[in-house]
Amino acid sequence: MRTVTTRAELEQSLAQLPRPIALVPTMGALHAGHAALIDTARRTAATVVVSIFVNPRQFANAADVARYPRTLEGDEQLAKAAGADLLFTPTVDEIYPPSETVATIEPGPLASRLEGASRPGHFAGVATVVSRLFDLVRPDEAYFGVKDAQQVRVVAWMAAQRSDRITIHRVATVRDRDDLALSSRNQMLSANGRVAAAKTIPVALSLIAEAYASGVTSVATLRTLAERVITAEPSVTLDYLDFADSASLVPLAEDAHVGDAASGEVLVSLAAVVDGVRLIDAITLP
């Protein structure tokens, strides 16, 4: 595996590597979830490119950007072991050159709710940096985790607008032994915060899945089951627990049932704050 930091080095390296090319965009602090993305890409692509870039445009402020964990040495080891061919670790000036105007990319109709409402401008930042990486890497396909459920849908919409028609692949969430979804942000939790997150977020979603499997389809009933778990833990603050059509992200009414979703699948999204750290998770029904 080769590591490059500049656009010129990236272009030179890509010219020597075979297609098809798969891109795994990340912000670093890599973990087993990222390894699963790389491994999945490795199975079909001739070349796997992993990018590590903490994108300032998708954060609310500079303090949040500075707080994000950075573990480049370990990231290089994990990416190499997982099967990456090329690691791209650009600076901000490489992605957003001071001498160039990098236009903000419209994130589309799926970006207005959920994380889009809680974090104004977030998905414009995501769409912009991913589009920028697509321009630089020119991949045939890209891989994203389904934990970031709304993000992967926004990226797929954005990719469909491009003339190069990059295929977007979704890879299943990888969970730790306590069932908490793996996330780079987990490193920012205290020991007590970690315990609180694990005994609420995945448990709430599991209760919904189990109740649905047993025949409960009422959105209101499923919501109540999950919210009881979250509100019982004072150190966890629920931002939203959302039931929406999986394809359109149109929310289901409280008196609706899972089967009412037009696409036939419901996305259950949850966002909560623990130790000042925002954590998200999601499942689909059925």
Cβ-proximal residues to 14 (8 Å cutoff; 6+ apart), any chain: 21, 47, 49, 86, 137, 138
Q: Which residues contact 233 (CB under 8 A, 6 or more apart)?
A: 196, 199, 200
Question: 127-149 burial, b if ≥16 CB within 10 A, otherwise e?
Answer: bbbbbbbbebbebbbbbbbbbbb
Q: Which residues are catalytic?
A: 34
Q: Which two tokens stand for residue 157?
A: 């919409």
The SS3 call for residue 42 is helix
The Cα–Cα gap between 186 and 15 comes to: 37
Alpha-carbon distance of 131 to 254, in angstroms, equals 36
Report residue 96 as tokens: 């957003």
Tokens for 105, please give them: 């990319």
Question: CA of 32: how far to CAs of 5, 134, 249, in Å?
Answer: 23, 24, 28
CA 239 – CA 224 distance, rounded (Å): 15
Q: Return the bridge partners of 242, or none.
A: 269
